[in-house]
Amino acid sequence: MAFRETLLTTDVHEAAALIRQGELVAFPTETVYGLGADAFNPEAVRKIFEAKGRPLDNPLIVHIAHLDQLARLVRDVPEAARRFMERFFPGPLTLVLPRHSDVPDEVTAGLPTVGVRMPRHPVARAFLEACGTPVAAPSANRSGRPSPTRWEAVYADLNGRIACILQGDRSDMGLESTVVDCTGPEPVVLRAGAVPLEALREVVPETRLVGNEMSLKARSPGTRYRHYAPQARVVLVDHPDEAVPDPRHAYIGLTPPAHPEAFGACCICPDVETYAYELFDFFRRCDTQGCTRIYAQRVPRTGLGLALMDRLERAAS
Ligand code: TXA
Ligand code: MG
């Protein structure tokens, strides 16, 4: 891929014009930054996989500005999905729905379904509105790296590989959207994320977490790959006493260690929301500092803790 300095801009119209020309644009959302291409331009979508080094069999989420855009994306909207949309759109929720035949195979990796999300971040909304087309976008990191929660992290991973970064503030959640398959008899969470399972169950009580069923694993290809990992080795602990203090070691968690200053980097979070917000940014900071080991404290798997534990376990695997 030819190296060309990536354009940095805060102008949504400039960024949207590039999307319409078939170029790649990274943009802020409330979860993490996305790497967007016109969802109906297969050639543009292929560039995403090339820029990220992403396996071609991992489908992309399509981002929309308003519900009218669903007509060309999905065949129908099941009742459960309709209820989730009413409560959580716009927001950090991705719904897997029966795919319309107009959606390119490049977006869905040939699956009979398509993932759709309507972000609520004001810059994302203005950008998607200006694009005038649905935008296919994975997280804007090199494949296998932690998702970017700041434009600087996108720049570090993708400068010279994409046309433009639409600059915004730091993402306010720091964890990706919850992915829910709505094509079966009951909704199934394929990837825990920023909308907790408990909140989904308030709307559709039958909603369950994906188990080890092969049919559904096949439907959630992204969960097969090593993800969210910094260069340092990630070690999960129940209590900071298990973390070996060393200037090359880092610690992140809810409970402060006895000697925080003995670690090269230390992040004490007052609650699980802050932990989720800080995690990917902390991983990247540890890489920059050359940490060799990151101790991360486990949290209970309730609320946002379910998604946080999923990311921690993947990073440690
Ligand atoms: O918060 C987010 O979801 C961010 C922002 C940019 O929207 N996006 C994101 O995309 O995290 P990505 O590509 O990193 O993760 C998308 C996940 C993958 O695990 C993928 O396999 C799954 O969603 N996915 C996408 N389309 C799917 C489909 N049709 N069926 C099953 N899983 C799907
Ligand atoms: Mg990703």
The per-residue pLDDT for range 169-224, each reduced to its tens digit, is: 999 999 999 999 999 999 999 999 999 999 999 999 999 999 877 555 555 555 55
Phi, psi of 72 (to 5 degrees): -95, 0
Helices (H), the chain: 12-20, 42-52, 79-88, 105-108, 122-131, 151-158, 197-203, 214-219, 272-289, 305-316
Nearest by Cα to 54 from 8, 107, 18, 4: 107
Would you state the pLDDT for residue 228? 73
3-state secondary structure of 289: helix
Contact 69 CB / ligand 1 (< 6 Å) = no
Predicted pLDDT of residue 224: 57
Tens of pLDDT, residue by residue over 98-146, are 999 999 999 999 999 999 999 999 999 999 999 999 999 999 999 989 9
Ligand whose nearest atom lies closest to the CA of 172 = 1
Ligand 1 center to 179 CA (angstroms): 7
Contact 61, 138 (CB under 8 A): yes
Share of the chain above pLDDT 90, in %: 91
Q: Report the pLDDT value the prediction gives residue 229, as an integer from 0 to 100.
A: 80
Q: Is 35 in the pocket of ligand 1 (CB under 6 A)?
A: no
Model pLDDT, residue 208 = 97
Query: Average pLDDT of 137-165?
Result: 97
Ligand 1 atom 7, closest CA: 34
What whole-number distance in Å separates Cα of residue 141 and Cα of residue 156? 9
Q: Are 192 and 210 in contact (CB under 8 A)?
A: no
| Mean pLDDT of all residues belonging to the chain | 95
> In which band, very low, low, confident or very high, does the pLDDT at 295 lie, cut at 50, 70 and 90?
very high
Q: The whole model's pTM is what?
A: 0.96
> Looking at per-residue confidence, does 314 or 223 come out higher?
314
Considering every ligand atom shown, identify the ligand nearest to the alpha carbon of residue 222 and give its number.
Answer: 1
Mean pLDDT to the nearest integer, 247-256: 98
User: Are 309 and 196 in contact, with CB atoms under 8 Å apart?
Assistant: no
CA 203 to ligand 1 center in whole angstroms: 22
Per-residue pLDDT at 211: 87
- Evaluate: CB of 32 within 6 angstroms of ligand 1: yes
Q: Is 90 in the pocket of ligand 1 (CB under 6 A)?
A: no
Give the Cα separation of 77 and 109 in Å (integer): 20
Asked if the model's pLDDT at residue 67 lies above 60, the reply is yes
Residue-level pLDDT at 187: 98
When pLDDT is averaged across residues 153-174 and rounded to a whole number, the result is: 97
pLDDT of residue 72: 97
Ligand approaching nearest to the C-alpha of 227 = 2
- Are 207 and 190 in contact by the 8 Å Cβ rule? The answer is no
> Tell me: the pLDDT tens digits for 18-65?
999 999 999 999 999 999 999 999 999 999 999 999 999 999 999 999
Ligand 1 lined by 220 (C-beta under 6 Å): yes
In whole angstroms, what is the distance from residue 15 CA to residue 11 CA? 6
- Paired tokens of 202: 């308030």
